[in-house]
Amino acid sequence: MSKRKKRQSSHGPTGKLGFATRAVHAGEDRERYADSITTPIVQTSTYAFKDSKEIRAYTRGNKERFEYGRYGNPTETVAQRRLAALEGAEDCVLSASGMSAITTTILALVRSRDHIVITDDAYKKTLEFCSQYLQRFGVECTIVPFGDYDALDRAVGRRTRFIFSESPTNPYLNIFDLVRLREIAKKHNVLTLIDSTFATPYNQRPLEFGVDLVIHSCTKYLAGHNDILAGAVLGSKELVDKVRDLHNAFGGVIDPHCCYLLLRGLKTFPLRVAVQNETAMRVARFLEGHPCIKRVYYPGLESHPHHKTAVEQMTGFGGVVSFDVKGGLAATNRFLDNLKLCYIAPSLGGVETLITHPASVSYYNLTRKERYALGITDTLVRLAVGVEEADDIIADLDQALKASRRPRKRAGG
């Protein structure tokens, strides 16, 4: 066996090992610096060559090694390999945030006069980038209603480069039928991109359905502790290399310490998501039967419009539950103000339970009419469960909802 092949076969467990085993070990060389169990943080910006002979071997492709921090880091490489093993991808490139991963991927795949299609339920900043910024580079964007597959089919033209969507979406947790997406893309010979942050590789692996590239905000479930920013793009080596080339030029690199924290988070990632799936299901059922709740949006509920699709292509329904509170904006604010366990914060996927009010946090700069046109009502709330006891989360929601029915006392009243 050649030295190169031997090195590749030592990158953690391979074969048919379980998901949790891969989450702990995949991507690592068996022998590590100082015999450490954890992957070390290689905190350096550049790498020294032994002599001119090694430089020539490297530049001619005869030697694998690192050159400069913008082009790669040993800690980063392990994290990329592990994520690829979990997603079932040939390759992965990490970047400094989820949005960095999205924007770099889009720009790497288009040229002036190209056209892309995106669904209207995509993340706000993704839609903003596609509909406003891309036109500066001569790239057209068509936004189609989520779930209208006929409109999606009609929107694809001869200059269309790819179709972009999310599954589940934010905040209504709509589920994209990945089989129909593949059929439409194959018919028109275009690429498909799915932001699978809310699902994670534990609950859904779009590449298995024929999707070309999968994007994650690793900030959320993959790292899982609300302490880093990171993004990942996964798919075939050919496509990921195109993204990596532009990524290297843009310089949106991830810090080695963030990669270390991401690797740490991935070791417990399957355990955390399994708990969050179960807790979110219990919370969703509790809320659906609560007198202070108008409607609950969770793909695990039979009442969700895409429940059947979710059952067919997901192994779990995730840790996010969205819902409408009865009583208007005032009651919704009273509910938020009375929470004692859940933190009001705009992220998700960590060990702490977070809750956010999209109308006042993410869409505060829009008029009420503009928000409602996007489905962002005054009473919509998004809950991201952590790993606390489900009973404690439910108890906190219950007391806050009961308090939402009691108007604040006027001063001096």
CATH number of the domain where residue 61 is located: 3.40.640.10
CATH number of the domain where residue 378 is located: 3.90.1150.10
Structure tokens at 398: 């219950």
Last residue of some domain: 265, 291, 323?
265
| Average pLDDT score over residue span 225-234 | 98
Residues 121 and 207 in one domain: yes
Q: How does 286-311 read in b/e, with b if 16+ C-beta sit within 10 Å? A: bbbebebbeebbbbbbeebebbebbe
Question: What CA–CA distance (Å, rounded) separates 19 from 24?
Answer: 9
Q: What does DSSP say about strands 354-356 and 343-344: parallel, antiparallel, or unpaired?
A: parallel
Residues 257 and 331 in one domain: no
Q: Is residue 411 part of a domain?
A: no
Residue 73 has pLDDT above 90, yes or no: yes
The residue range of the domain holding 105 is 3-265
Residue 371 pLDDT: 84
Give residue 11's pLDDT band: very low, low, confident or very high (50, 70, 90): low
Q: Is residue 413 part of a domain?
A: no
Q: Is residue 146 part of a domain?
A: yes
Phi and psi at 235, nearest 5°, equal 165, -150
Is the distance from CB of 292 to CB of 404 less than 8 angstroms?
yes
| Average pLDDT score over residue span 50-77 | 96
Residues 233 and 307 in one domain: no
Q: Is residue 244 part of a domain?
A: yes
Residues 79 and 225 in one domain: yes
Residues 141 and 238 in one domain: yes
Last residue of some domain: 265, 292, 318?
265
Q: Is residue 409 part of a domain?
A: no
Is the distance from CB of 157 to CB of 204 less than 8 angstroms?
no
In tens, the pLDDT along 273-322 reads 999 999 999 999 999 999 999 999 999 999 999 999 999 999 999 999 99
Domain count, the chain: 2
Q: What does DSSP say about strands 191-195 and 380-384: parallel, antiparallel, or unpaired?
A: unpaired
Question: What CA–CA distance (Å, rounded) separates 130 from 346?
Answer: 22
Residues 176 and 92 in one domain: yes
Structure tokens at 174: 């709509």
What percent of the chain stands above pLDDT 70? Answer: 95
**Residue 7: what residue type?**
R
Residues 303 and 162 in one domain: no
The residues assigned a catalytic role are: 70, 123, 195, 220
Place of tokens 């932001």: 195
